[in-house]
Structure 1
Amino acid sequence: MILTVPTQAFTGQKPGTSGLRKKVVIFQQPHYVENFIQSVFDVVADKVGATLVIGGDGRFLNREVIQIAIRMAAANGVGRVVVGRGGILSTPAASHLIRQRGAIGGLILSASHNPGGPTEDFGIKYNIANGGSAPEQVTDAIYARTTTIDRWLTVEAADIDLDSNDEASVGGMPVEVVDPVADYAALMETLFDFAAIRAAGLTMAFDAMHAVTGPYAIEIFENRLGFAPGTVRNGTPLPDFGGHHPDPNLVHAHALHATMMAPDAPDFGAASDGDGDRNLIIGRGLFVTPSDSLAMLAANAHLAPGYAEGLKGIARSMPTSAAADRVAARLGVPLYETPTGWKFFGNLLDAGMATICGEESAGTGSDHVREKDGVWAVLLWLTILARRRQSLAAIARGHWATYGRNYYARHDYEGVDSAKTDALVADLRAKLAALPGQRFGDLVVETADDFAYTDPTDGSVSEHQGIRILFVGGSRVVFRLSGTGTSGATLRVYLERFEPDTIDGETGAMLATIVAAADAIARIERHTGRAAPDVVT
């Protein structure tokens, strides 16, 4: 029997580019989860009789919300739910499963790289039938519904056994519990030559950060590729990620970095984040920035069977360095500069206009799914190392010798009062017209703008996507407010210096003049009260 439960709307249930993210205690309020999920069901058309995928990254509250979502799906007429065993599905695996099953979409329970636990973060994201994040017209409609909702629907039913492989029935709706890894691993074997990777005799350290990629990494890297047991570190997903922050950067993956900088380091090091869509790449003695990783993967993708016929195009988010631009030019393929948010890449991938996409925040992926994919990036890097029979450092230096080097860093000022960051951005916008021609140390401003994007697939326009200050010679600084946190505002400052010949400089020293110019232009300390960033990546 369908139960109609009266409710009242909550304020602030506006999903961003990665869904609705809040502290766990907010999601634990009575009706809060149900209101948001019902708003999704109220907006999604053609759900009656359709298949819905549900899974998450294993963080605290994951299992409880899955049970709620299953009962609500049955009450809203969904025909079948496919859920990952244990409630586990990495975001790229969920994207693949949605596409493979012809599902109407999926509910992905994750706050990605944000910390987990009873006092930390939780999130719910709706992905559409192409496997990608819901576009703005859908998330806007979901948000509008959350402001007026007055009831939600469910059925009376016991929790299903998420750890069983058996099919269950909830309110007459079949619920299929599936191996979360098998279909995804099979997809990877169609893109990469596992035998060639095995034969190369490489050694690796992979940090799953007690997050969702642990089961995927153990099955693919250790079981199928034959890397030694223990290659995968922190491979058991935990509700609080072992008390650590599952963000694959040099701050939070410092133990992996120490391993890779040691004299006896393995050939290759990598990590992935909470929901498995981001990646960290480190060679013996050398960290590769996500921007450089995108460029190098694109330049060498033809070495993998799945990309042997070449690329249709390369796409990068605007804050990502321009290193991939020169690869696209040499390959003779289009380069698309998009706003931050994988949905923009999804449009290009659906239209067959791009093959490989990437963003500076450690996300890379291809047209095999409609999400970024950390394990995929690692497999492509392993393919390159196996085929070229060179170290990662040698490959990187060869790339820079050919294309020049984009020295790059991101400075994050976290948890800043929103009024202060809004004032900083308003001040920047007011001075854009006067900046061209101004000199800051050895840098001269060539152009300055508030980035706007016209989507070539549908003509839609996205404005105010970040402030760009471009200097003569190819260097630049970008200012952008991030929407991935759950408290305050995060100001991200992206710093980039292009050097056509100097490829062995120290990044901090090479960026010193860019940092000084960014501070002089934006007056960061004056606006925020912060003398230094909280995180440098």
Structure 2
Amino acid sequence: MIKTVATTPYGDQKPGTSGLRKKVPVFQQENYAQNFIQSIFDSLEDFQGKTLVIGGDGRYFNREVIQIAIKMAAANGFGRVLVGRGGILSTPAASNVIRKYQAFGGIVLSASHNPGGPTEDFGIKYNIGNGGPAPEKITEAIFARTKVIDSYKIAEAADVNLDIEGTHEIAGMQVTIIDPVSDYAALMEELFDFNAIRALLQNGFRIVFDAMSAVTGPYAKEILENRLGAPKGSVLNFMPLPDFGGHHPDPNLVHAKALYDQMMGDDAPDFGAASDGDGDRNLIIGRGIFVTPSDSLAMLAANAHLAPGYSKGLAGIARSMPTSGAADRVAEKLGIGIYETPTGWKFFGNLLDAGLATICGEESAGTGSNHVREKDGLWAVLLWLNILAVRQESVVEIARQHWMIYGRNYYSRHDYEEVDSAAANGLVTALRDKLASLPGTKIGDLTVQTADDFSYHDPVDHSVSSNQGIRILFEGGSRVVYRLSGTGTSGATLRVYIERFEPDAARHDIETQEALADLIQAAEEIADIRQRTGRQTPSVIT
């Protein structure tokens, strides 16, 4: 039986760069999740009888919202729902399932790399039929609907057993519980030379992968250990836990410090990697070397032809604006397009669909390709392993040769987390007000060449996205970028991106923060960060 339930709007359901993210107690308010899910359905057209994919990263409240979403999908007229067993689907795996089974779209329950638990973060994101995050016109329509919603539809039915594969029926809609790993693993076997990687691992090449008690665990266990033959125990923390074991599932040098320390030790494995809460981010560390996400994007693009899935070359490379320019020089050498977009994977979707780009990346540890429409942490790990297997060189050797050819982009991101929102917005407003007066300004030995607030003109649909980050470009090619992040749930996160291009190979061994010291000081002076935020140092430096 279909029931229509009266409800009242909440005023805080505006999706960010990757859906709606709030603390669990916020989502547990009466009808809060139902309002947002109904607003998604109300913003879509022509889905009656079609397929919806539902899955999540296993965090706290995942199973409860999946049951709600299933019953609401039935009440709203979907014909079939595909759900990952146990409620599990990594974000890239969900994208693949949407594409493979030609689903109308999907609901992905995740707050990505944010902490999980009864008082931590939860999120709901809608992905469209190409497998990618909903574009702004849809998320804006969803938000508009949340502000006036007065009822939602839900089927009165028993909960579905999410832990056993099989098919059920709810209010005339078919619900199929699927293996969350098999379709994704099959896709990876198509893209990469598993025989070459298997031979590398059998030859004594040692790897360690930290799944951070998050969703990638079952995928990494199946692919790295079961199919590629890595020794048992190579995949750490492989069981997805609702609170990620009490850890912060963000694969950076702060939250994956144990892995970093192991890789810098005397008896380090050859290759270390980690992924995040929902499986779309990656951390790459070779023995004795951390590869920044910006460098990883450039190095993967330069070597992608070594993997079967990319042997015909790349159509183009896309990167988010704050990501370093390292990939630009690879694109120039390859004679292919380079596209600079705002932060947010949804901006890559049009470029991928139009065949303009093959590989995309963001400095925030996200890389991916046209195989799905999300960033993909395990994909990046497997492409690195494929390259290492073919080149028979270490990560350090590959990185040094890359810098020798292309130059090195010293790069760092300084995050000021949970800053008072009014203070953060005031800082950005003051920066915008002084942009016109900055060119020509000298700060130490640095001279500002140009300053602007980045706007993106989409070459495919010609849409314009303004106010996407403040850029200060210095003579000689260095730059500082300021941006407020849309992925947190408390206060505001100010991100400051600092970059220096160094073409001289004799200067490629300087410690990163030392190489960027004058730019870090300039970033502070220009934005008056300490005075405006009250913070003496960043919360996280990556």
CA distance in 2, matches of 1:300, 1:450: 33
1:116 maps to a residue whose letter is G
1:168 aligns with 2:168: yes
- Aligned counterpart for 2:293 among listed residues 283, 287, 290: 290
2:100 maps to a residue whose letter is Q
Give the CA deviation at 1:473: 1.2
Aligned to 1:462: 465
- Aligned counterpart for 2:514 among listed residues 509, 514, 519: 509
Aligned to 2:46: 46
2:281/2:366 contact within 8 Å kept: yes
Aligned to 2:396: 393
The two structures have a TM-score, normalised by structure 1, of 0.99
Partner SS for 2:82? strand
What is the correspondence of 1:32-43 to structure 2 with a 5 Å cutoff?
32-43=32-43
CA distance in 2, matches of 1:55, 1:448: 42
- Aligned counterpart for 2:264 among listed residues 261, 281, 293: 261
Partner SS for 2:153? strand
1:14 maps to a residue whose letter is K
- Aligned counterpart for 1:443 among listed residues 426, 441, 446: 446
2:275/2:378 contact within 8 Å kept: yes
CA distance in 2, matches of 1:132, 1:17: 12
Aligned to 1:530: 535
1:496 aligns with 2:490: no
CA distance in 2, matches of 1:404, 1:199: 32
Q: Deviations over 1:399-447 (max 9, x none)?
A: 0111111111100111111111111111111111111111112211111
CA distance in 1, matches of 2:333, 2:183: 35
Q: Deviations over 1:347-398 (max 9, x none)?
A: 1000000000000000000000000000000000001110000000010011
1:236 aligns with 2:239: yes
What is the correspondence of 1:169-184 to structure 2 with a 5 Å cutoff?
169-184=169-184
CA distance in 2, matches of 1:213, 1:74: 29
- Aligned counterpart for 2:213 among listed residues 204, 210, 215: 210
2:154 maps to a residue whose letter is T
CA distance in 2, matches of 1:505, 1:442: 19
Aligned to 2:138: 138
Partner SS for 2:245? helix
CA distance in 1, matches of 2:275, 2:527: 33
CA distance in 2, matches of 1:123, 1:320: 25
1:114 aligns with 2:120: no
1:380 aligns with 2:383: yes
Partner SS for 1:280? strand
CA distance in 1, matches of 2:342, 2:439: 23
Q: Deviations over 1:269-324 (max 9, x none)?
A: 00000000000000000000000000000000000000001000000000000000
CA distance in 2, matches of 1:536, 1:381: 24
Partner SS for 1:340? coil
Aligned to 1:521: 526
Give the CA deviation at 1:237: 0.1
The count of aligned residue pairs is: 537
Q: Deviations over 1:436-483 (max 9, x none)?
A: 111112211111110001000011111000000011111100000001
Partner SS for 1:301? helix
Partner SS for 1:247? coil
Give the CA deviation at 1:208: 0.2
Aligned to 1:158: 158
Give the CA deviation at 1:335: 0.5
Q: Deviations over 1:167-217 (max 9, x none)?
A: 111112110000000000000000000000111132100000000000000
CA distance in 2, matches of 1:445, 1:177: 57
CA distance in 2, matches of 1:168, 1:228: 38
CA distance in 2, matches of 1:96, 1:45: 22
Partner SS for 2:296? helix
Give the CA deviation at 1:513: 0.4
Partner SS for 1:413? strand
CA distance in 2, matches of 1:131, 1:353: 17
Aligned to 2:347: 344
CA distance in 1, matches of 2:254, 2:134: 31
Q: Which residues of structure 1 form unaligned runs of 5+?
A: none
1:23 aligns with 2:1: no
CA distance in 1, matches of 2:152, 2:437: 53
CA distance in 1, matches of 2:381, 2:209: 9
2:469 maps to a residue whose letter is G
CA distance in 2, matches of 1:442, 1:505: 19
Aligned to 2:273: 270
Give the CA deviation at 1:95: 0.2
Partner SS for 2:198? helix
Partner SS for 1:97? helix
Aligned to 2:479: 476
Q: Deviations over 1:29-52 (max 9, x none)?
A: 110010000111111111110000
2:541 maps to a residue whose letter is V
**Amino-acid identity (%):** 72
